[in-house]
Structure 1
């Protein structure tokens, strides 16, 4: 990965990229778990929405660092929508 910025923003962007990779791997593992444990996979759906929320929130922060405000706002709104969906799924599963 090549970054044109230096200093704190460079490290922050690297950490965000590594966190996004880790969260994407977690979503892939959760998808495989859903395929194999269909009857008891109810709690995994809210976790997938929550991981998607985190990925979008981190990417939104990165876009704001790059001074790309429009993409940052769109990703932040998407993160909030996924957070609401995650809360709704948690409520439905725990009911």
Structure 2
């Protein structure tokens, strides 16, 4: 169902869209850095997973706001998995 919203929901969705654009660019830059740095890129892996968790978490919030709880739940699960991977890789390099 496609519908437009006004007020705080519209501003929230717009903020999430801008946040996702910025974070996606950051994820791409970090991925390229990981490819070129290879062995010296240990600290970048947890950051990559954390950014992915934030992107998926913000998309989950957007889905919940637009009344799509199943998609929001799936994105929340993906965000939790990425957050666990972030913690595991952070502990592995420490």
For Structure 1 versus Structure 2, the TM-score category normalised by the shorter chain is over 0.9
Q: TM-score, normalised by structure 2?
A: 0.94
Superposed, 1:44-55 pairs within 5 Å as 44-55=44-55
In structure 2, the partner of 1:73 is 73
Q: TM-score, normalised by structure 1?
A: 0.93
Give the aligned CA root-mean-square deviation in angstroms. 1.0
Distance 1:16 1:42 in 2: 29
Q: Which runs of 5+ in 2 are unaligned?
A: none
Which stretches of structure 1, 4 residues or longer, exceed 6 Å deviation after superposition? none
Kindly provide the CA deviation profile for residues 17-74 of structure 1, in whole angstroms up to 9, marking residues without a partner as x.
Answer: 0000000000111011112211210110111110010000000000000010000111
Q: Which runs of 5+ in 1 are unaligned?
A: none
In structure 2, the partner of 1:56 is 56
Distance 2:36 2:70 in 1: 39
